[in-house]
Amino acid sequence: MNKRILLTIPIMAALGAFAGAQTRDAQLPHLEKRGLVTQLIVDGKPFLVLGGELHNSSSSSHGYMKPVWPQLAALQLNTVLLPVAWETIEPTEGKFDFTCVDQLLEGARENNLRLVLLWFGAWKNTYSSYVPAWVKTNTERFPRVQMSDGRSTERLSPFSKAVRDADAGAFAKLMGHLRSVDGDRHTVLMVQVENEVGVIPESRDHSAVANLAFSSPVPATLTSFLAKHRAELDTELRGVWEAAGGKTTGAWQDVFGKNPLTDDLFMTWQYATFIQQVAATGKAQYPLPMFANAALIRPNYEPGQYNSGGPLPHSIDLWHAGAPALDFLSPDIYFNEFALWAGRYARPGNPLFIPETQGGAIAASNALYAFGQLSAIGFSPFGIDDQGNLPLDLAGITNPSERSDNSAVKNVYVALSRLAPLISEKQKTGGITAALMEGEAQRSARLYPGDYIANITRAGRSATGERLAAMFIQTGPNEFLVAGSGDAQITFSSDKPGPPIVGIESIDEEFYENGAWVPRRRMNGDEDSQGQSLRLYANDLALGRIYRIRLYRYR
Ligand code: DGJ
């Protein structure tokens, strides 16, 4: 073999490996703008995460999980969200043990489930309870957030480079391991970096290093981002910034004013830029989509009464500026005003993914609304491993009334998984819409499917104020599939040019059989008030029933 060939073989091998890696990366789960929306693409196709998040400590035990996996599959989840804790994978500094991760992958694969991993690194619900003992006990090397009276807290400092590098280092090892064991299987779809960060009960860190940063200039990366995106900024953020003069230089209180929100924005920047390092270091190993989640704010709460520094609606712009390695920010929605909170996160540049929310009956309506109206990429009730079979302490609850009956989650996931290809297709073109009626006060709702107006009012059991949703998917100029989660009566009108009166040509109930929606009864009599309205029933999802309605217009 001559010299030339000898040199060429390694180069070609390297090029081949590079091309291979590139093709493989293009096939990894990723986010992609398709038509009007950003979708999660898995194995080349849009994927709606019909998820559920485990209680915090469930995934730490293979024994605990063994009987749980099939239960999760039986619930018709396609994805499980579960924590991987720093202390589990790096119990001794620099020595990594991925047995637990591998067992989780195995459990998921055996049950045909995908995973979204939650990296419980430096912070979990503001605290640092899941960090390894060698980090927790060495407060000199790994400093803490401090209170204004000088007391230390159980929270690692987001200002510490040592904390950041140790966290990012462990996370990078995790992502590297995932690439090696799952890079061609795609069991893991996405990763949440940390969990519900922020400080509480004071609005900011008062350590010496934090005080110094607070009186130092706001980084130019942030001020130039604000200036460049002024027109699109969150109105609350823009309001405080402009009220303080809209400056692009100065310390935090010069730029954002002497008000409590400034403390929140200051901490936000610190957490965002810390997490940026962790996420970017992890992505360099294995570039899966990544996100951070927020504990939301109760009305009129001040920073410090809520997690000050988390990815809240008013600070999403700071996260976009400081943590571009994150693909989106997510709300954990435990409040009843689901549409309000989900809507604040479903915005341009931030696809909606809800990693934690209430399960039980209300989840069915919320899921229909999230996918149908807000083009969500995923929905995931929390504590999904409690199927009513766990002792209360293992379920993480103290009161039996807190148990969720997740049969409604199962029913809506069955419907959504059957409709998923159509939903994904219609999300791209706007041919899907949904309404959510959330409280007794909300007696009616209006939707605009195609050229029509759907006037939805409560009926039957829903008359007392139960949550309900109705989703319309356009399948032709005058034809729609309708899925609902409660008792409702729907009449139709139109405000488009043309004949003014809308009639119902036909309504068929349809059931899913052998991979297709098949009509059963034609409902043009009592069931639809002799062609005057479409009636949805509370048990539609349980029965697996949807409706195909055809409308027409006349004078
Ligand atoms: C929100 C957190 O993110 C979860 O880890 C869990 O603690 C739940 N709260 C409990 O409701």
Decide: 414 and 392 in contact? Cβ < 8 Å.
Answer: no
- Token readout for 51 is 């998820």
Q: How far is the CA of 136 from the centre of ligand 1 (A)?
A: 21
CA-nearest of 367, 306, 310, 298 to 338 is 367
How far apart are the CA of 462 and the centre of ligand 1, in A?
Answer: 30
Our mutation pick for probing the ligand 1 site, out of 196, 306, 384, counting the most ligand atoms within 8 A of Cβ, is: 196
Answer whether 179's CB lies under 8 Å from 158's CB: no
Residue 440: predicted pLDDT: 85
- CB of 53 sitting under 6 A from ligand 1: no
Q: What pLDDT sits at residue 463?
A: 85
CA distance 158 to 144: 8
For 20, 429, 478, 529, 531, the CA distances from 526, given in Å and listed in that order, are: 62, 35, 22, 5, 8
Indicate whether residue 58 lines ligand 1 (CB < 6 A).
Answer: no
Nearest CA to ligand 1 atom 2: 125
Residue nearest to atom 8 of ligand 1 (CA): 382
DSSP class of residue 199 equals B
pLDDT score for 38: 98
**What is this structure's pTM?**
0.93
- Residue 26, Cβ neighbours under 10 Å: how many? 10
Contact of 125 with 396, CB cutoff 8 Å: no
Report the relative pairing of strands 45-46 and 37-42 from DSSP bridges.
Answer: antiparallel
- With contact defined as beta carbons under 8 Å apart, do 381 and 411 qualify? no
> Which of 55, 56, 124, 194, when mutated, tests ligand 1's pocket best, judged by the most ligand atoms within 8 Å of its CB?
56
Pairwise CA distance, residues 40 & 250, whole Å = 40
Looking at residue 299, its pLDDT comes to: 86
pLDDT at residue 508, rounded to an integer: 97
Residue 368's nearest CA partner among 518, 513, 534, 481 is 481
For 118, residues 6+ apart whose C-beta sits below 8 A from its C-beta are: 53, 81, 82, 83, 84, 191, 192, 195, 355
Q: How far is the CA of 257 from the centre of ligand 1 (A)?
A: 32
Contacting residues for 515 by C-beta, under 8 A, at least 6 apart: none
Please give the distance of CA 304 from its chain centroid, rounded to a whole number: 24
For residue 201, cis peptide bond before it (omega within 30 degrees of 0): yes
356: Cβ below 6 Å to ligand 1? yes
How far is residue 492's CA from residue 452's CA, in Å, rounded to a whole number? 7
- Residue 386: predicted pLDDT: 82
Q: Is the CB of 540 under 6 A from ligand 1?
A: no
Instruction: Give the per-residue pLDDT at 388.
Output: 62
Residue 83 token pair: 């924590």
CB 356 within 8 A of CB 400: no
Q: What is the pLDDT of residue 465?
A: 83
Any atom of ligand 1 within 6 Å of the Cβ of 120: no
- What is the distance in A from the centroid of ligand 1 to the CA of 53? 10
Q: What is the pLDDT of residue 1?
A: 33
For residue 308, how far is the Cα from the chain centroid? 20
Q: Residue holding tokens 């730490």? A: 60
Residue with tokens 């954990």: 332
The CB of 382 under 6 Å from ligand 1? The reply is: yes
Nearest-5° angle of CA 155, CA 169, CA 116?
Answer: 80
Give the nearest ligand 1 atom to 196 CA.
3
Residues of the chain with pLDDT under 70: 1-24, 26, 387-397, 400-404
Nearest in space to 388 (alpha carbons), one of 375, 406, 371: 406
pLDDT of residue 396: 61
The whole-angstrom separation of Cα 155 and Cα 145 is 6
Pocket test for ligand 1, best of 59, 127, 195 (most atoms within 8 A of CB): 195
CA 118/CA 121 separation, integer angstroms: 9
Which pLDDT score, from 0 to 100, does residue 26 have? 66
Query: Alpha-carbon dihedral of residues 334, 307, 93, 185, nearest 10 degrees?
Result: 40
Question: Do the beta carbons of residue 195 and residue 125 sit within 8 Å?
Answer: yes
CA distance 245 to 214: 18
Token readout for 376 is 């969500």
- Ligand 1 midpoint to CA 140 (Å): 29
Rounded Cα gap, residues 5 and 22, in angstroms: 25
Query: How much distance in Å is there from the Cα of 520 to the middle of ligand 1?
Result: 43
Determine the Cα–Cα distance for residues 31 and 304; give it in Å rounded to an integer: 34
Give the distance (Å) from ligand 1 centre to CA of residue 343: 21
Nearest alpha-carbon partner for 289 in 279, 298, 297, 299 = 279
**56 close to ligand 1 (CB < 6 Angstrom):** yes
